[in-house]
């Protein structure tokens, strides 16, 4: 949700549609920031609020973290039929982001049609996130936590 940006003078409507329909991809630094914001370890933040999703690159799974949806079991890897549009982000409350001060890069970089009049654009999407996590020691730690032994 791009609640603060007003690129063409239009304010965010706080309709929450973005956070109901788009995964907000996180960079590894976002998890560290979120953990600090919540006052807990990165492992605890992951287990309580996040999941690992993936993109397929040349047939291989490339993982990245993002918020769980309401109804998900946080702290795991999404199943293959996971779609964000089934259920809102776990951090969405009254159409606002509850972790505004620690909003992940995917949420901050989202450029919204309703505000700009131009087609929705994700500055930091799944692929960018998977690339960022692929270089991260933190991903190996999360995969160990969920019981997956390697980055496949």
Among residues 2, 30, 53, 72, which is the contact residue for ligand SF4, using CB under 6 A?
Answer: 2
CA distance 1 to 66: 14
CA distance 1 to 97: 7
Which phi and psi angles does 10 have, rounded to 5°? -95, 135
CA distance 36 to 129: 20
Residues contacting 39, CB < 8 A, separation 6+: none
Altogether, the residues listed in the chain come to a count of 152
Which CB, 96 or 140, lies closer to ligand SF4? 96
Task: Confirm or reject binding of residue 89 to ligand SF4 (CB under 6 A).
Answer: yes
Task: Confirm or reject binding of residue 50 to ligand SF4 (CB under 6 A).
Answer: no
- CA 56, 109, 104, 10 dihedral sign is negative
For residue 76, the SS3 value is coil
Which CB, 109 or 136, lies closer to ligand SF4? 109
- In the bound complex, what is the minimum distance in angstroms from residue 32's beta carbon to ligand SF4? 15
Task: Confirm or reject binding of residue 16 to ligand SF4 (CB under 6 A).
Answer: yes
Task: Confirm or reject binding of residue 103 to ligand SF4 (CB under 6 A).
Answer: yes
- In the bound complex, what is the minimum distance in angstroms from residue 13's beta carbon to ligand SF4? 4
Among residues 46, 54, 91, 133, which is the contact residue for ligand SF4, using CB under 6 A?
Answer: 91
- Residues at the contact surface with ligand SF4, assessed by CB under 6 A: 1-2, 12-19, 24, 67, 89, 91-92, 97, 99, 103-104, 107, 112, 114-115
């Amino acid at each position: 949700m791009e609640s603060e940006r007003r690129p063409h003078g239009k304010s965010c409507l706080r309709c929450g549609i973005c956070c109901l329909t788009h995964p907000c991809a996180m960079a590894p630094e976002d998890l560290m920031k979120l953990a600090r914001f919540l006052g807990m370890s990165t492992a605890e933040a992951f287990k309580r609020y996040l999941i690992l999703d993936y993109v397929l690159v040349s047939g291989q799974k490339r993982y990245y973290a993002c918020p769980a949806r309401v109804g998900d079991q946080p702290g795991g890897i999404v199943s293959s039929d996971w779609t964000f549009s089934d259920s809102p982000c776990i951090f969405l409350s009254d159409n606002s982001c509850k972790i505004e001060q620690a909003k992940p890069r995917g949420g901050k970089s989202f450029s919204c049609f309703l505000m700009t009049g131009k087609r929705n654009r994700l500055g930091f999407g799944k692929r960018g996130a998977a690339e960022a996590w692929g270089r991260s020691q933190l991903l190996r730690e999360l995969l160990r936590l969920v019981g997956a032994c390697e980055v496949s």
